[in-house]
Homo-oligomer: A and B are copies of this chain.
Amino acid sequence: MAERDFIARLLSPLATSAAARGLADDAAVWMPPIGRQLVFTHDVLAAGVHYRPADPPGDIAWKLLAVNLSDLAAMAAAPAGVLLGLGLSAAEDDGWREAFAAGLGRALAHFGVALWGGDTVSGLGQAVLGLTAVGWVEPGKAMGRAGAQPGDALWVSGCIGGGGLGLAVAQGLRPPDKSLLNRYRRPTPRLALGAALGGVATAGMDVSDGLLIDAQRLAAAGGVGLAIAIDAVPLTAPAAGLAEIMAQATAGDDYELLFTAAADVDVAALAGPTKTPVTRIGTVVAGSGLALSFAGQPVPLPDRLGYEHG
Protein backbone atom coordinates (compact mmCIF):
# COMPACT_ATOMS: atom_id res chain seq x y z
CA MET A 1 0.00 0.00 0.00
CA ALA A 2 1.48 3.36 -1.02
CA GLU A 3 1.85 6.06 1.63
CA ARG A 4 -0.82 8.20 0.00
CA ASP A 5 -3.28 5.29 -0.01
CA PHE A 6 -2.52 4.52 3.63
CA ILE A 7 -3.23 8.14 4.49
CA ALA A 8 -6.22 8.62 2.18
CA ARG A 9 -7.94 5.27 2.72
CA LEU A 10 -7.08 4.40 6.31
CA LEU A 11 -6.02 7.49 8.25
CA SER A 12 -8.10 10.31 6.74
CA PRO A 13 -11.39 8.65 7.77
CA LEU A 14 -10.15 8.84 11.39
CA ALA A 15 -9.37 12.55 11.11
CA THR A 16 -12.94 13.76 11.51
CA SER A 17 -12.26 16.96 13.49
CA ALA A 18 -12.37 20.29 11.69
CA ALA A 19 -8.84 20.95 12.95
CA ALA A 20 -7.47 18.08 10.85
CA ARG A 21 -8.82 19.61 7.62
CA GLY A 22 -9.20 16.09 6.27
CA LEU A 23 -5.40 15.65 6.39
CA ALA A 24 -5.48 17.53 3.10
CA ASP A 25 -3.47 20.61 4.10
CA ASP A 26 0.12 21.08 5.19
CA ALA A 27 -0.84 21.39 8.87
CA ALA A 28 -3.75 21.26 11.31
CA VAL A 29 -5.49 24.39 12.59
CA TRP A 30 -7.10 24.39 16.04
CA MET A 31 -8.64 27.05 18.25
CA PRO A 32 -7.40 26.34 21.78
CA PRO A 33 -9.73 26.65 24.76
CA ILE A 34 -9.70 30.16 26.22
CA GLY A 35 -7.68 30.64 29.39
CA ARG A 36 -5.95 27.28 29.36
CA GLN A 37 -2.31 26.31 29.23
CA LEU A 38 -1.43 23.74 26.59
CA VAL A 39 0.54 20.60 27.30
CA PHE A 40 2.69 18.84 24.68
CA THR A 41 4.41 15.49 24.70
CA HIS A 42 6.01 13.23 22.08
CA ASP A 43 6.92 9.61 22.75
CA VAL A 44 8.36 7.11 20.30
CA LEU A 45 7.76 3.33 20.24
CA ALA A 46 10.23 1.27 18.25
CA ALA A 47 9.51 -2.27 17.12
CA GLY A 48 11.53 -4.72 19.15
CA VAL A 49 12.33 -2.11 21.79
CA HIS A 50 9.01 -0.83 23.15
CA TYR A 51 6.71 -3.45 21.72
CA ARG A 52 7.03 -6.89 20.24
CA PRO A 53 6.79 -6.89 16.44
CA ALA A 54 4.25 -9.74 16.61
CA ASP A 55 1.91 -7.79 18.91
CA PRO A 56 -1.50 -7.21 17.33
CA PRO A 57 -1.25 -3.96 15.29
CA GLY A 58 -4.41 -2.61 16.90
CA ASP A 59 -2.81 -3.04 20.31
CA ILE A 60 0.36 -1.29 19.11
CA ALA A 61 -1.78 1.66 18.04
CA TRP A 62 -3.50 1.64 21.42
CA LYS A 63 -0.17 1.59 23.25
CA LEU A 64 1.27 4.38 21.09
CA LEU A 65 -1.65 6.59 22.01
CA ALA A 66 -1.88 5.43 25.62
CA VAL A 67 1.76 6.04 26.58
CA ASN A 68 1.51 9.59 25.28
CA LEU A 69 -1.81 10.23 27.01
CA SER A 70 -0.15 8.88 30.16
CA ASP A 71 2.35 11.73 29.90
CA LEU A 72 -0.55 14.17 29.69
CA ALA A 73 -2.16 12.50 32.71
CA ALA A 74 1.14 12.91 34.56
CA MET A 75 0.83 16.66 33.95
CA ALA A 76 -2.85 16.76 35.05
CA ALA A 77 -3.81 17.62 31.47
CA ALA A 78 -6.86 16.67 29.43
CA PRO A 79 -6.11 15.43 25.89
CA ALA A 80 -7.28 17.24 22.77
CA GLY A 81 -5.48 16.03 19.66
CA VAL A 82 -2.56 14.04 18.33
CA LEU A 83 -0.17 13.95 15.37
CA LEU A 84 1.44 10.75 14.11
CA GLY A 85 4.96 10.21 12.83
CA LEU A 86 5.00 6.70 11.40
CA GLY A 87 8.15 5.11 10.05
CA LEU A 88 7.20 1.74 8.58
CA SER A 89 9.10 -1.23 7.17
CA ALA A 90 8.08 -3.97 4.76
CA ALA A 91 6.96 -6.01 7.78
CA GLU A 92 4.10 -3.57 8.26
CA ASP A 93 2.20 -4.90 5.26
CA ASP A 94 -1.28 -3.93 4.09
CA GLY A 95 -2.97 -6.15 6.65
CA TRP A 96 -0.87 -4.65 9.43
CA ARG A 97 -1.67 -1.12 8.27
CA GLU A 98 -5.39 -1.84 8.14
CA ALA A 99 -5.39 -3.37 11.60
CA PHE A 100 -3.25 -0.56 12.98
CA ALA A 101 -5.60 2.11 11.60
CA ALA A 102 -8.66 0.27 12.89
CA GLY A 103 -7.14 -0.03 16.35
CA LEU A 104 -6.04 3.58 16.28
CA GLY A 105 -9.58 4.63 15.44
CA ARG A 106 -10.94 2.64 18.38
CA ALA A 107 -8.35 4.07 20.74
CA LEU A 108 -8.96 7.66 19.61
CA ALA A 109 -12.71 7.18 20.10
CA HIS A 110 -12.20 5.54 23.49
CA PHE A 111 -10.18 8.47 24.82
CA GLY A 112 -12.09 11.15 22.95
CA VAL A 113 -8.99 12.43 21.18
CA ALA A 114 -8.79 13.90 17.68
CA LEU A 115 -6.29 12.86 15.00
CA TRP A 116 -4.93 16.14 13.66
CA GLY A 117 -2.20 15.10 11.25
CA GLY A 118 1.26 13.66 10.86
CA ASP A 119 3.53 12.00 8.39
CA THR A 120 4.24 8.49 7.15
CA VAL A 121 7.47 7.11 5.73
CA SER A 122 7.75 3.62 4.28
CA GLY A 123 10.65 1.43 3.34
CA LEU A 124 12.52 1.54 6.63
CA GLY A 125 14.33 -1.46 8.07
CA GLN A 126 12.29 -1.34 11.27
CA ALA A 127 9.09 0.34 12.42
CA VAL A 128 9.48 3.49 14.53
CA LEU A 129 6.20 5.02 15.65
CA GLY A 130 6.05 8.54 17.08
CA LEU A 131 3.06 10.42 18.39
CA THR A 132 2.64 13.96 19.62
CA ALA A 133 -0.20 14.48 22.07
CA VAL A 134 -1.60 17.93 22.81
CA GLY A 135 -3.72 18.63 25.86
CA TRP A 136 -4.73 21.47 28.15
CA VAL A 137 -4.75 22.30 31.82
CA GLU A 138 -5.95 25.18 33.98
CA PRO A 139 -3.11 27.68 34.41
CA GLY A 140 -0.86 26.76 37.29
CA LYS A 141 -2.41 23.34 37.78
CA ALA A 142 0.04 21.28 35.73
CA MET A 143 1.82 18.65 37.80
CA GLY A 144 5.57 18.34 37.55
CA ARG A 145 8.27 16.11 38.92
CA ALA A 146 9.70 18.81 41.17
CA GLY A 147 7.75 20.03 44.18
CA ALA A 148 7.56 17.21 46.72
CA GLN A 149 8.03 18.50 50.27
CA PRO A 150 9.31 16.55 53.27
CA GLY A 151 6.29 15.29 55.16
CA ASP A 152 4.19 14.82 52.00
CA ALA A 153 2.62 11.44 51.45
CA LEU A 154 3.73 9.33 48.44
CA TRP A 155 0.94 7.66 46.49
CA VAL A 156 0.62 5.38 43.51
CA SER A 157 -2.45 4.59 41.41
CA GLY A 158 -3.70 1.15 40.39
CA CYS A 159 -1.40 -1.85 40.62
CA ILE A 160 2.29 -2.15 39.83
CA GLY A 161 4.10 -4.93 38.00
CA GLY A 162 1.44 -5.93 35.50
CA GLY A 163 3.28 -4.47 32.53
CA GLY A 164 6.34 -6.56 33.24
CA LEU A 165 4.32 -9.69 33.94
CA GLY A 166 2.42 -9.17 30.70
CA LEU A 167 5.69 -8.90 28.81
CA ALA A 168 6.77 -12.20 30.38
CA VAL A 169 3.52 -13.75 29.15
CA ALA A 170 4.16 -12.38 25.65
CA GLN A 171 7.67 -13.83 25.79
CA GLY A 172 6.32 -17.25 26.80
CA LEU A 173 8.07 -17.00 30.17
CA ARG A 174 4.76 -17.15 32.04
CA PRO A 175 1.59 -19.11 31.31
CA PRO A 176 -0.94 -17.46 28.98
CA ASP A 177 -2.92 -14.79 30.83
CA LYS A 178 -5.07 -12.43 28.78
CA SER A 179 -5.42 -9.94 31.61
CA LEU A 180 -1.66 -9.61 32.14
CA LEU A 181 -1.04 -9.49 28.41
CA ASN A 182 -3.46 -6.60 28.18
CA ARG A 183 -1.61 -4.76 30.93
CA TYR A 184 1.47 -4.84 28.69
CA ARG A 185 -0.22 -4.24 25.36
CA ARG A 186 -3.08 -1.96 26.27
CA PRO A 187 -2.09 0.21 29.23
CA THR A 188 -4.65 2.61 30.71
CA PRO A 189 -3.52 6.22 31.03
CA ARG A 190 -4.82 7.65 34.30
CA LEU A 191 -6.35 10.74 32.74
CA ALA A 192 -9.24 11.25 35.17
CA LEU A 193 -7.03 10.84 38.23
CA GLY A 194 -4.37 13.08 36.74
CA ALA A 195 -6.91 15.82 36.12
CA ALA A 196 -8.21 15.47 39.69
CA LEU A 197 -4.67 15.84 41.05
CA GLY A 198 -3.94 19.11 39.24
CA GLY A 199 -3.31 21.85 41.77
CA VAL A 200 -3.44 19.31 44.62
CA ALA A 201 -0.50 16.97 44.16
CA THR A 202 2.82 18.62 44.98
CA ALA A 203 4.65 16.45 42.39
CA GLY A 204 3.77 13.65 40.00
CA MET A 205 4.88 11.54 37.06
CA ASP A 206 3.84 8.36 35.33
CA VAL A 207 5.51 5.03 36.03
CA SER A 208 6.89 3.89 32.70
CA ASP A 209 10.31 2.41 33.47
CA GLY A 210 9.61 0.76 36.84
CA LEU A 211 8.24 2.04 40.13
CA LEU A 212 11.58 2.31 41.90
CA ILE A 213 13.57 3.95 39.13
CA ASP A 214 10.78 6.44 38.52
CA ALA A 215 10.49 7.11 42.27
CA GLN A 216 14.22 7.79 42.29
CA ARG A 217 13.71 10.32 39.48
CA LEU A 218 10.85 11.97 41.38
CA ALA A 219 13.06 12.26 44.45
CA ALA A 220 15.95 13.72 42.44
CA ALA A 221 13.70 16.25 40.67
CA GLY A 222 12.39 17.49 44.01
CA GLY A 223 15.70 17.45 45.86
CA VAL A 224 14.16 15.19 48.47
CA GLY A 225 14.25 11.58 49.58
CA LEU A 226 11.43 9.06 49.45
CA ALA A 227 10.81 6.52 52.21
CA ILE A 228 8.85 3.67 50.60
CA ALA A 229 7.20 0.77 52.43
CA ILE A 230 7.79 -1.82 49.75
CA ASP A 231 5.17 -4.13 51.28
CA ALA A 232 2.58 -1.39 50.85
CA VAL A 233 3.05 -1.27 47.07
CA PRO A 234 -0.12 -2.56 45.39
CA LEU A 235 1.01 -5.38 43.11
CA THR A 236 -0.73 -6.85 40.10
CA ALA A 237 0.15 -10.44 41.08
CA PRO A 238 0.49 -11.88 44.59
CA ALA A 239 4.15 -11.89 45.60
CA ALA A 240 5.70 -14.48 47.87
CA GLY A 241 8.41 -12.50 49.57
CA LEU A 242 10.65 -9.57 48.91
CA ALA A 243 12.27 -10.82 45.71
CA GLU A 244 8.94 -11.16 43.93
CA ILE A 245 7.84 -7.75 45.17
CA MET A 246 11.07 -6.22 43.90
CA ALA A 247 10.64 -7.89 40.52
CA GLN A 248 7.29 -6.18 40.05
CA ALA A 249 8.44 -2.87 41.54
CA THR A 250 11.29 -2.66 39.04
CA ALA A 251 9.45 -3.77 35.89
CA GLY A 252 8.27 -1.11 33.49
CA ASP A 253 5.25 -0.40 31.32
CA ASP A 254 2.77 0.19 34.16
CA TYR A 255 1.66 3.73 33.26
CA GLU A 256 0.30 4.33 36.72
CA LEU A 257 0.68 7.73 38.40
CA LEU A 258 3.22 8.21 41.17
CA PHE A 259 2.60 11.42 43.09
CA THR A 260 2.99 13.28 46.33
CA ALA A 261 0.48 15.35 48.28
CA ALA A 262 0.44 17.08 51.64
CA ALA A 263 -0.23 14.51 54.36
CA ASP A 264 -3.60 16.06 55.25
CA VAL A 265 -5.03 15.82 51.72
CA ASP A 266 -7.74 13.16 51.46
CA VAL A 267 -6.38 11.63 48.26
CA ALA A 268 -8.71 8.65 48.40
CA ALA A 269 -11.73 10.97 48.44
CA LEU A 270 -10.25 12.93 45.55
CA ALA A 271 -9.65 9.77 43.54
CA GLY A 272 -13.02 8.20 44.33
CA PRO A 273 -15.04 9.94 41.61
CA THR A 274 -12.36 8.95 39.07
CA LYS A 275 -12.85 5.28 39.99
CA THR A 276 -9.06 4.91 40.24
CA PRO A 277 -7.57 2.97 43.13
CA VAL A 278 -4.85 4.87 44.98
CA THR A 279 -2.49 3.56 47.64
CA ARG A 280 -0.18 5.40 49.97
CA ILE A 281 3.22 3.75 49.74
CA GLY A 282 5.50 6.13 51.55
CA THR A 283 6.55 9.54 52.73
CA VAL A 284 8.70 12.34 51.39
CA VAL A 285 11.73 12.92 53.60
CA ALA A 286 14.61 15.36 53.69
CA GLY A 287 17.72 14.10 51.93
CA SER A 288 17.93 12.27 48.65
CA GLY A 289 17.26 8.94 46.99
CA LEU A 290 15.12 6.05 48.12
CA ALA A 291 14.90 4.38 51.54
CA LEU A 292 12.98 1.10 51.32
CA SER A 293 11.42 -0.80 54.18
CA PHE A 294 9.73 -4.19 54.44
CA ALA A 295 7.66 -5.09 57.50
CA GLY A 296 9.02 -1.98 59.12
CA GLN A 297 12.67 -2.95 58.64
CA PRO A 298 15.08 -1.25 56.22
CA VAL A 299 15.91 -3.25 53.10
CA PRO A 300 18.67 -2.45 50.61
CA LEU A 301 17.91 -1.09 47.16
CA PRO A 302 18.04 -3.74 44.44
CA ASP A 303 20.93 -3.37 42.00
CA ARG A 304 18.52 -2.69 39.18
CA LEU A 305 15.75 -0.17 39.86
CA GLY A 306 14.06 -0.40 36.47
CA TYR A 307 14.55 0.17 32.77
CA GLU A 308 17.51 2.41 31.99
CA HIS A 309 17.48 4.11 28.60
CA GLY A 310 20.65 3.01 26.83
- A residues with a Cβ closer than 8 A to B are 2-4, 21, 24-32, 34, 37-44, 46, 49-50, 70-72, 74-75, 77, 81, 83-87, 116-126, 128, 130, 132-135, 137, 139, 142, 144-146, 205-206, 221, 308-310
> Does B42 contact A119, Cβ atoms closer than 8 Å?
yes
A310 to B2, CA, bound (A): 5
| Docked complex Cα distance between A175 and B122 (Å) | 31
From B29, B44, B70, B144, give the contact of A87 (CB < 8 A): B44
A2 touches B134 (CB 8 A): no
SS class, residues of chain A in contact with chain B:
strand
Kindly state the separation between the CA atoms of A28 and B71 in the bound complex, as whole angstroms.
10
The distance in angstroms between the C-alpha atoms of A16 and B97, with both chains bound, is 38
7 of the cross-chain contacts (CB-CB < 8 Å) are A4-B309, A27-B72, A27-B74, A30-B37, A31-B38, A42-B85, A87-B87
- A25 proximity list for chain B (CB < 8 A): 74-75, 144-146, 205
In the complex, A128 Cα to B46 Cα: how many Å?
11
Which of B30, B49, B86 meets A123, CB within 8 Å? B49
Q: How far is the CA of A27 from the CA of B205 in the complex (A)?
A: 10
Chain B residues with Cβ under 8 A from A29's Cβ? 37-39, 75, 137, 142
Q: Which residues of B contact A40 (CB under 8 A)?
A: 27-28, 30, 81, 83, 116-117, 132, 134
| New A-B contacts (20) at CB < 8 Å, excluding given A30-B38, A125-B125 | A4-B309, A24-B221, A25-B205, A26-B70, A27-B135, A29-B37, A29-B39, A31-B38, A31-B139, A40-B116, A42-B85, A42-B117, A42-B130, A44-B119, A44-B121, A46-B124, A85-B132, A125-B126, A130-B130, A132-B132
